[in-house]
Amino acid sequence: SAVISQKPSRDICQRGTSLTIQCQVDSQVTMMFWYRQQPGQSLTLIATANQGSEATYESGFVIDKFPISRPNLTFSTLTVSNMSPEDSSIYLCSVVEGNLGQPQHFGDGTRLSIL
Amino acid sequence: AQKITQTQPGMFVQEKEAVTLDCTYDTSDPSYGLFWYKQPSSGEMIFLIYQGSYDQQNATEGRYSLNFQKARKSANLVISASQLGDSAMYFCAMREGGTGNQFYFGTGTSLTVIP
């Protein structure tokens, strides 16, 4: 299975600033996703990162707030912009390889706290 | 309707005992996959076990087994011989064959293993 490196693992940021999270995969994968997990909650899909084109955002998430890049099949970034305390969450990138029976594999997550 | 329902917010089990974590799902797609993930307090998502909708036998992976009852649309995770390291959040997820890409996650069950 793919090995996913996600950085940073955690950060504490001031409100109003932006943070970019990186996700590097050790093999080419078709599907990459970004999730948010608020404290004590389940995972919420932010967007599907599309290689070479704009990400596909889920309802409630917009590109201005969560710009995503995916320049190739092994790398993606998620930026959390103009942060507020409500953005304090774990952010996870994930990949899926192949058919229906393949699980998602996740990076170790970025634990973000906004002061 | 919720795609994945986990009705047990928290569970306790004695060390070395078995425990069942409940999961029911809702889909009209005849082709789907069911997954269980473990999330320790450190935050990473660990894939545990997979069951396909056409699989005739219940999936097993070491101490994990999946009690798949298709007619009842349930996919309960059974952990045998619980260990202290099993204390974590457990998420049930589904991937539908029609949509292919998106995973639907339940709200999770927090398992605490008591020594």
**Residues 7-66, chain A, touching B (beta carbon < 8 A):** 31, 41-43, 45, 48
The torsion region of residue B16 among left (phi > 0), alpha (psi -120 to 50) and beta comes to: left
Residue from the list B43, B91, B107 with its beta carbon closest to the beta carbon of A109: B43
Rounded to a whole number, what is the largest CA-CA distance in chain A?
A: 42
**Chain B residues with CB within 8 Å of chain A CB:** 31-33, 35, 42-45, 47, 50, 52, 91, 93, 95, 97, 100-103, 105-108
pLDDT at B19 over 90: yes
pLDDT at B36 over 90: yes
- Residues B107 and B51: their CA atoms lie apart, in Å, by 19
Share the mean pLDDT of chain B.
94
pLDDT score, position B99: 66
Asked whether the beta carbons of residue B108 and residue A105 sit closer than 8 angstroms, the reply is no
User: What contacts 24+ positions apart, CB below 8 Å, involve A60-66?
Assistant: A66/A34
pLDDT score, position A101: 82
Q: Closest residue of A to B6, CA-based? A: A42
pLDDT at B21 over 80: yes
Contacting residues for B17 by C-beta, under 8 A, at least 6 apart: B81, B82
Residue from the list A100, A106, A109 with its beta carbon closest to the beta carbon of B31: A100
pLDDT at A1 over 90: no
pLDDT at A4 over 90: yes
Q: What is the CA radius of gyration of chain A?
A: 13
Q: Which residues of chain B have a CB within 8 Å of the CB of A105?
A: 47
Given pLDDT bands bounded at 50, 70 and 90, which one contains residue B101?
confident
Share the mean pLDDT of chain A.
93
Q: Which residue has the higher pLDDT, A12 or B98?
A: A12
Q: What is the pLDDT of residues A46-90, one digit of tens each?
A: 999 988 889 999 999 999 999 999 999 999 999 999 999 999 999
Q: What percent of chain B has pLDDT over 70?
A: 98
pLDDT score, position B97: 81
pLDDT score, position B100: 61
Interface membership of A109 toward B (CB under 8 Å): yes
pLDDT at A45 over 70: yes
Q: What percent of chain A has pLDDT over 90?
A: 82
